[in-house]
Amino acid sequence: MTAAETPESKCDVIIIGAGPAGLMMAAWMARCGIDARVVDKRSTKIFSGQADGLQLRSLEIFDSFGFADRAWKEANHMIEMCMWNPGTDGVIRRSDRVPDVPVGLSRFTQIVLHQGRIERFFLEHIKKHSKDSLRVERAVLPESLSISEDLCDDHSSSSYPLTVTLRHLTEDEAAPAQSNGSEVRDGLFRSNLAEDDTDELIKKSQGKEGTSEVVRAKYMVGCDGAHSWTRRQLGFQLEGEPTDFIWGVLDVIPITDFPDIRMRCAVHSASSGSLMVIPRENKLVRLYIQLTEIKPDASGRADRSQITPQTIIKAAQKIIAPYKLTYEYCDWWTAYQIGQRVGTNFDYKNRVFLAGDAVHTHSPKAGQGMNVSMQDAYNLGWKLGLVVKGIAKPEILKTYQSERRRVAQDLIDFDHKFSRLFSGRPAKDVMDESGVNMSDFKDAFLKGNLFASGLSVDYGASMLVAKEGDAAEQGDGTDVSLSTVSISASKTRVMGHQDVATNIKLGMRFPSYKVLNQADARPWHFQERLRSDGRFRLVVFAGNVLSAAQKSRLDAFCASLASSTLLAPHLHTHVAVLTLHSAKRVDVELLRDLPDVLHPYDGKTGWDYDSVFVDDVSYHEGYGDAYAGYGVQRETGCVVVCRPDQYVGFVGGLDEEGWRGVEGYFRGVLRDGE
Amino acid sequence: MTAAETPESKCDVIIIGAGPAGLMMAAWMARCGIDARVVDKRSTKIFSGQADGLQLRSLEIFDSFGFADRAWKEANHMIEMCMWNPGTDGVIRRSDRVPDVPVGLSRFTQIVLHQGRIERFFLEHIKKHSKDSLRVERAVLPESLSISEDLCDDHSSSSYPLTVTLRHLTEDEAAPAQSNGSEVRDGLFRSNLAEDDTDELIKKSQGKEGTSEVVRAKYMVGCDGAHSWTRRQLGFQLEGEPTDFIWGVLDVIPITDFPDIRMRCAVHSASSGSLMVIPRENKLVRLYIQLTEIKPDASGRADRSQITPQTIIKAAQKIIAPYKLTYEYCDWWTAYQIGQRVGTNFDYKNRVFLAGDAVHTHSPKAGQGMNVSMQDAYNLGWKLGLVVKGIAKPEILKTYQSERRRVAQDLIDFDHKFSRLFSGRPAKDVMDESGVNMSDFKDAFLKGNLFASGLSVDYGASMLVAKEGDAAEQGDGTDVSLSTVSISASKTRVMGHQDVATNIKLGMRFPSYKVLNQADARPWHFQERLRSDGRFRLVVFAGNVLSAAQKSRLDAFCASLASSTLLAPHLHTHVAVLTLHSAKRVDVELLRDLPDVLHPYDGKTGWDYDSVFVDDVSYHEGYGDAYAGYGVQRETGCVVVCRPDQYVGFVGGLDEEGWRGVEGYFRGVLRDGE
């Protein structure tokens, strides 16, 4: 086929890989209405196995897209974690029970659901919101990437700096070979014990009559896994080393007298290694089993041929003795070698981005992989959407690496510590220095729990987070300092005032309390109103709107808002306004007591009744006490800028200074403000 | 076409009409695996308008089928009811706010959702559970019914007493004509202001080349509405009279300064009639508007031609003045004349049954119609399913009329009273005897609220409800007394002991409290475990299983259960066992402390972990305190038989007498026990 015959087309964003990170990215593209394509080299989506723990933050994100309820309903819910350790007699016994996630953190708990279902929810969401125009193109392989360096800084709408060649594979080429001939699916082909097959696929397909096409794109996101083809094109590395610890994974319906088989368990045997129990949906249980008898060879890599479901269950039986453990049904199995590695770079010139396993790999047992990968894309997607649409300044794309590479580094440190504690032999007594102290393990677990919830993420100062401190230090070192952007006429840096909302932390996700809709008294978790629709939210804590003094403060603030040449054109379209007041619900009337800009009028549909909420007692669901929870003064309130990903960008008083802060924040972000 | 050419087939149950009652019946048929057909004369399902309030009990039922969450998510939630009445100056003002449903009754509140969505949930459920074999056949009209009287008492599997001729209509014949040429759909063709068109359809279709078929069936259920063709074939009547009150209905997006437009409101104007506001999903509001200026003619029926959206909104504007009310978008409209009528008979020889509007009609404003109709079918469906499968005695079918006709009578009494209070002119003062006293209206509303929740239904004594008192008196007069069935060797009547579970009322629905799964500590509403799968449930309140005395009582009870020649063959297949104990969760081990019959072993999947629950504190969702809620002694427990429809059939002690009661109850119900 000659170059002249190769079809050419354009798109704004091309996403390589349709795993959780790629699908999250595609979901944002659908929600923001971006002309995007998603390609994946595999011919089918996965049907069993794979990562499956959903942490609290992932569920909050799913909820913001509107499908957390589906995952919540189908999943197994993990409530308690039990720790089993050897006693002085060497026999395992339950030493501790702790809640699986800290109490009071979120309205969700940790759940476990097959990755295939999660991908299904994403696919349906993408289909619905893109009106069918955005579909995953399977069995499509990227073959080459070239970047027009001189176009990378040209942000005009006609600038397409990237040229990607795609090859459409045949069904045969794209289906992964299973490592054995049995009916049970295994995941070795995706495990880090296997080599990547992308090059082999390219070679294979070039021998046949596959068709190619050329796509010119503005942006590209590589969500193509640990062996990322995209990363290799850019010449970026993953830094870190594998360990000697090799683990097997079985998804089975266990037949056992082990009493905690439906609990999450960490079992340390005296000398046969460790095992983790993760109960799943449909009677399945996932077992992570340390394979102490299999050692890496001279190359540092374990011999895959030694690893079968039979060798894995035998290892498990040794660990869990004296309890019996067998199975009749095995759904899936795999094995991996623990290693923690982080990408040196998360983007190339803010035109090509890497997300998920392409930039961080670690052990799967803490249930972090899929979550952190999705959250990478969740962080990047709206930024890319707003930049492509010409609403936000391209500079905000730099915050992707500064925010997410820092998270990846923290994750790797956590996993490094936790894996060694979990894979190590338990100490026999205080004199046994080479053993792991079990109370150290418990402490690490409890501390790690907050980290593992995904709710401890705290993004550093940048043009998107108006907080104090050094932007480079708080991120991964990337320069996202505000001085590069003129954020206000006087060029002073915009800074939030944390003290007016002590629990709405700058850089962290907006917490949630129950509030009532003023118009119909319905209770909502406030976070449910922070939908992932690509809009910033100006959250007006209106305070006691029935006090004359406060009403006049509110009116003044709303007058500034409604007349702002910067913000007024974006109101409700790119910057939604949500109000939470603290007066008695029954004493307040929406149309009488709250300025129009807080509940806008439409000639066809009348007043808006879905934007004003109240912190008051409900009939059926108690009292959220939201002002107290948020740490906001009931009388005077405050104002918060919430990013499209629910992270807090700015906090200030409901006054002239607060207004200038809001306007300054958006001047640093919105393109119109330049 | 001659008779010889007409195709013939057989089925167990034929359902006429695919509205909410017919679909509920079909859902049970799918769940019970019954060979059934559902036909509907219309060619399409409905897309707008129609009844749409879902009461608490309906949501509990949806939840038992597994789709309450879908309705809950899409619906508008009604939380508060506001009453507006004229002051002494004749101007309306808000006189009261009350919770829309009593607090603490159920885990649900009242919601409002378009009937078309509800039908969709049913259709998907039926499809899933019948594995596609049961589909609604649309544009199919019943033409004749003949009953072989001598076969009605023959319950052998080869007995098909009913012969039904069906005619397949063309698309043209089956599409209902709208009463006007506008784009807005109206519902006048289904309103009681319109004549039935079944006969006309039969005539029309006979003139064309429609195809006919003959179906021989064991049972038939007429869910074919107020003009029920099935009812007419049986020669049964609806008894009652229409009133003079004529109401219009508008589904619009209102543009108004009326402050409570997103609340449920009852507005009584001084002299222009009354209006009810029912806020709906997607900004829609349903308005029920009294049309005081339109009177019935000599025939007692209102002139349809006078009624248009314009005349209806004008009437609304008069009532709601001085507030303004207009709309740009109207989704649907209709009108009706209030009348309360109940069918004389709900079945013919327990072979042909009538459900829903076919046996009761009343005003729609209390949101009862669709709910009571679905609940008719919910009552009948499992009984029919178990009888067709040969599991239950055919005599239980008699309880359909005794239970549901009584409910219909109560409904009509309620509606009669409520409609008159709502349609009447408000009294000017205490001397105004022809006016309605507004505090009487409020009292009636509050009392009616419990009734309208659907949770006050209390089925009388019968072979399915082992309670004291006269069966005929507690029902509708039908003989469902126990003396007709030998219920135990000694022929004494089985009687529950309400005092061992004071809040699990015989004849009422099983209430719900939060409990934890013993095996994984997950909180559940206990009612969520009472799935509509056609199984009775033996609920064992095992008490304090760690006390030796209680453990030996429990062991003895379980030994009787496991060795019962009557029950053992049905255990887990037709009679599921659910356990709720009251010891500390962490002190109990499932395999050690609870007899096998409570968590059975399966060679392929191991022990069952989904049947034993505990009344204990959860980490994240508080304490259900279920034993206290149920009124059961924590130490000694009790045993409850719960019917497949969640109604309580028997309550007894966890002892020899209680066991004899359980066995006696099932001997009266199960066919094997004869």
In angstroms, the CA A161 to CA A149 distance is 7
Helix, strand or coil, per DSSP, at residue A332: strand
Question: Hey, are the CB atoms on A604 and B69 less than 8 Å from each other?
Answer: no
Q: Which CATH number is A63's domain given? A: 3.50.50.60
In this structure, are A497 and A364 located in the same domain? no
Q: Which of A341-355, B42-56, B650-664 has the lowest mean pLDDT?
A: B42-56
Percentage of chain B lying above the pLDDT 70 cut: 90
| Span A55-94, pLDDT tens digits | 999 999 999 999 999 999 999 999 999 999 999 999 999 9
Render A381-434 in DSSP notation, one character per residue.
Answer: HHHHHHHHTTSB-GGGGHHHHHHHHHHHHHHHHHHHHHHHHHHSPBPSSTT-TT
Burial class (CB in 10 A: 0-12, 13-18, 19+), A572: middle
In angstroms, the CA B510 to CA B431 distance is 47
Q: Which of A504-513, B100-109, B647-656 has the lowest mean pLDDT?
A: B100-109
Domain assignment of residue B253, yes or no: no
Q: Find residue A219's DSSP bridge partners.
A: A13
Pair of tokens at residue B494: 């089985």
Residue A673's pLDDT band (cuts 50, 70, 90): very low
What residue type is assigned to position B262 of the chain? R
Contact A217, A35 (CB under 8 A): no
Pair of tokens at residue B610: 């989904």
All residues at 6 or more sequence positions from B511 whose CB lies less than 8 Å from its CB, including other chains: B503, B504, B527, B629, B630
| Intra-chain end-to-end CA distance of chain B, in Å | 47
The predicted model gives B423-448 an average pLDDT of 82
Residue B506's pLDDT band (cuts 50, 70, 90): very high
| Span B518-539, pLDDT tens digits | 999 999 999 999 999 999 999 9
pLDDT of residue A674 exceeding 70, the answer is no
In angstroms, the CA A584 to CA A516 distance is 11
> Residues of A with catalytic annotation?
52, 280, 288, 364
Would you give the DSSP letter of residue A170?
P
Percentage of chain B lying above the pLDDT 90 cut: 71
Question: Hey, are the CB atoms on A604 and B254 less than 8 Å from each other?
Answer: no
Number of domains in chain A: 2
> Residues of B with catalytic annotation?
52, 280, 288, 364
Helix, strand or coil, per DSSP, at residue B343: strand
The predicted model gives A519-530 an average pLDDT of 98
In angstroms, the CA A433 to CA B606 distance is 40
φ, ψ at A518 (rounded to 5°): -60, -35
| Span B615-637, pLDDT tens digits | 999 999 999 999 999 999 999 99
Domain assignment of residue A442, yes or no: no
Pair of tokens at residue B234: 């049986």
Place of tokens 């709910």: B371
Buried b (16+ CB within 10 A) or exposed e, A87-104: eeeeebeebbebbbbbee
Residue of A nearest to B94 (CA): A586
In angstroms, the CA A170 to CA A165 distance is 16
| Span A429-461, pLDDT tens digits | 878 888 888 888 888 887 777 888 889 999 999
In this structure, are A395 and A475 located in the same domain? no
Contact B56, B284 (CB under 8 A): no
pLDDT of residue B204 exceeding 90, the answer is no
In angstroms, the CA B544 to CA B582 distance is 5
Residue of A nearest to B324 (CA): A606
Predicted local confidence at residue A302, as pLDDT: 75
Q: CA A358 → CA A355, B370, B591, distances in Å? A: 6, 54, 45
Contact A282, A117 (CB under 8 A): no
In angstroms, the CA B436 to CA A18 distance is 66
The predicted model gives A111-121 an average pLDDT of 92
The predicted model gives B446-455 an average pLDDT of 83
Q: A-B interface: how many C-beta pairs under 8 angstroms?
A: 107
Domain assignment of residue A123, yes or no: yes
pLDDT of residue B395 exceeding 70, the answer is yes
Predicted local confidence at residue A39, as pLDDT: 96
pLDDT of residue A208 exceeding 60, the answer is no
Q: Which CATH number is A526's domain given? A: 3.40.30.20
Specify the DSSP element, H or E, that contains A439.
Answer: helix A438-452
Domain assignment of residue B541, yes or no: yes
Contact A81, A98 (CB under 8 A): yes
Would you give the DSSP letter of residue A655?
S
Cβ neighbours of B56 in A, within 8 Å? none
Predicted local confidence at residue B505, as pLDDT: 98
Q: Count other C-beta atoms under 10 Å from residue A596's C-beta.
A: 12
pLDDT of residue A491 exceeding 70, the answer is no
Contact B601, A328 (CB under 8 A): no
Would you give the DSSP letter of residue A662?
H
Predicted local confidence at residue A182, as pLDDT: 58
Contact B665, B659 (CB under 8 A): no
In this structure, are A554 and A669 located in the same domain? yes
Domain of B614 in residue numbering reads as 496-673
Calculated CA dihedral for residues B427, B430, B432, B437, nearest 10 degrees:
30
- β-strands B325-343, B360-361: how paired? antiparallel
In angstroms, the CA A151 to CA A149 distance is 5
Place of tokens 């009948």: B380
Q: CA B257 → CA A6, B95, B455, B491, distances in Å? A: 62, 18, 36, 68
In this structure, are A356 and A492 located in the same domain? no
Q: Which of B258-267, B418-427, B625-634 has the lowest mean pLDDT?
A: B418-427
Report, in angstroms and rounded to the nearest whole number, the Rg of chain B calculated over CA atoms: 26
pLDDT of residue B484 exceeding 70, the answer is no
Would you give the DSSP letter of residue A614?
E
Predicted local confidence at residue B306, as pLDDT: 83
Specify the higher pLDDT residue, A605 or B175: A605
Predicted local confidence at residue B9, as pLDDT: 96
Predicted local confidence at residue B173, as pLDDT: 72
Predicted local confidence at residue B25, as pLDDT: 98
Cβ neighbours of A95 in B, within 8 Å? none
pLDDT of residue A1 exceeding 50, the answer is no
Mean confidence (pLDDT) of chain A? 90
Pair of tokens at residue A106: 């979120």
Predicted local confidence at residue A46, as pLDDT: 59
Axis crossing angle, helix A369-388 with helix A56-65, rounded to the nearest 10:
40
Question: Hey, are the CB atoms on A262 and B606 less than 8 Å from each other?
Answer: no
Predicted local confidence at residue B263, as pLDDT: 97
Q: Which of A207-216, A464-473, B495-504, B553-562 has the lowest mean pLDDT?
A: A207-216
Q: CA A270 → CA A249, A294, A350, distances in Å? A: 21, 18, 50
Strands (E), B208-309: 211-222, 238-256, 264-268, 274-279, 285-290
Q: How far is B455 from chain A (nearest CA, A)?
A: 17
Cβ neighbours of A283 in B, within 8 Å? 605-606, 609
Residue B365's pLDDT band (cuts 50, 70, 90): low
Question: Hey, are the CB atoms on A262 and B328 less than 8 Å from each other?
Answer: no
Which of B392, B415, B450 is the C-terminal boundary of a domain? B392
Q: Count other C-beta atoms under 10 Å from residue B162's C-beta.
A: 22
Specify the higher pLDDT residue, A49 or B197: B197
Residue B305's pLDDT band (cuts 50, 70, 90): confident
The predicted model gives A311-339 an average pLDDT of 93
Residue A295's pLDDT band (cuts 50, 70, 90): confident
pLDDT of residue B458 exceeding 80, the answer is yes
Predicted local confidence at residue A125, as pLDDT: 97
The predicted model gives A355-377 an average pLDDT of 86
The predicted model gives A503-516 an average pLDDT of 97
Domain assignment of residue A641, yes or no: yes
Contact A353, A220 (CB under 8 A): yes
In this structure, are B224 and B368 located in the same domain? yes
In angstroms, the CA A566 to CA B263 distance is 36
Domain assignment of residue B299, yes or no: no
Contacting B with CB below 8 Å, chain A residues are: 69, 73, 76-80, 97, 99, 103-104, 109, 253-257, 259, 261-263, 279, 283, 328-329, 517, 519-523, 586, 589-592, 603-607, 609, 618-620
Q: Which of A132-141, A217-226, B362-371, B517-526 has the lowest mean pLDDT?
A: B362-371
The predicted model gives B490-495 an average pLDDT of 73
Domain assignment of residue A422, yes or no: no
Residue B483's pLDDT band (cuts 50, 70, 90): very low
Helix, strand or coil, per DSSP, at residue A569: helix
Domain assignment of residue A447, yes or no: no
Predicted local confidence at residue A186, as pLDDT: 72
In angstroms, the CA A643 to CA A530 distance is 9
Q: What angle do CA B453, B458, B461 make, to 5 degrees?
A: 165
Predicted local confidence at residue B429, as pLDDT: 80
In angstroms, the CA A36 to CA B444 distance is 59
- β-strands B285-290, B523-525: how paired? unpaired
Predicted local confidence at residue A488, as pLDDT: 44
In this structure, are A508 and A651 located in the same domain? yes
In angstroms, the CA A363 to CA A337 distance is 8
The predicted model gives A189-210 an average pLDDT of 62
Calculated CA dihedral for residues B33, B37, B38, B39, nearest 10 degrees:
170
Contact A19, A374 (CB under 8 A): no
Predicted local confidence at residue B414, as pLDDT: 84
Residue of A nearest to B261 (CA): A519
pLDDT of residue B223 exceeding 60, the answer is yes
Mean confidence (pLDDT) of chain B? 90
Specify the higher pLDDT residue, B428 or A483: B428
Pair of tokens at residue A456: 């401890």
Specify the higher pLDDT residue, B369 or B602: B602
* Predicted-complex ipTM score: 0.91
Q: Which of B69, B104, B620 sits opposite A103 (nearest CB)?
A: B620
pLDDT of residue B489 exceeding 80, the answer is no
pLDDT of residue A192 exceeding 80, the answer is no
Residue A483's pLDDT band (cuts 50, 70, 90): very low
Closest by CA position to A535, among listed A13, A20, A33, A24: A33
Cβ neighbours of B589 in A, within 8 Å? 259
Residues shown for chain B: 674
In this structure, are B170 and B23 located in the same domain? yes
pLDDT of residue B179 exceeding 90, the answer is no
Cβ neighbours of A531 in B, within 8 Å? none
Percentage of chain A lying above the pLDDT 70 cut: 90
The predicted model gives B259-285 an average pLDDT of 95
Report, in angstroms and rounded to the nearest whole number, the Rg of chain A calculated over CA atoms: 26
Which of A381, A399, A417 is the C-terminal boundary of a domain? A399
The predicted model gives A506-510 an average pLDDT of 98
**β-sheet with A285-290: strand ranges across:** A92-99, A80-86, A264-268, A274-279, A285-290, A242-256, A325-339, A185-186
Which of A399, A423, A438 is the C-terminal boundary of a domain? A399
Residue of A nearest to B111 (CA): A522
Cβ neighbours of B519 in A, within 8 Å? 261-263
Name the H helices within B580-654.
590-593, 626-630
In this structure, are A569 and A486 located in the same domain? yes
Pair of tokens at residue A58: 């992932």
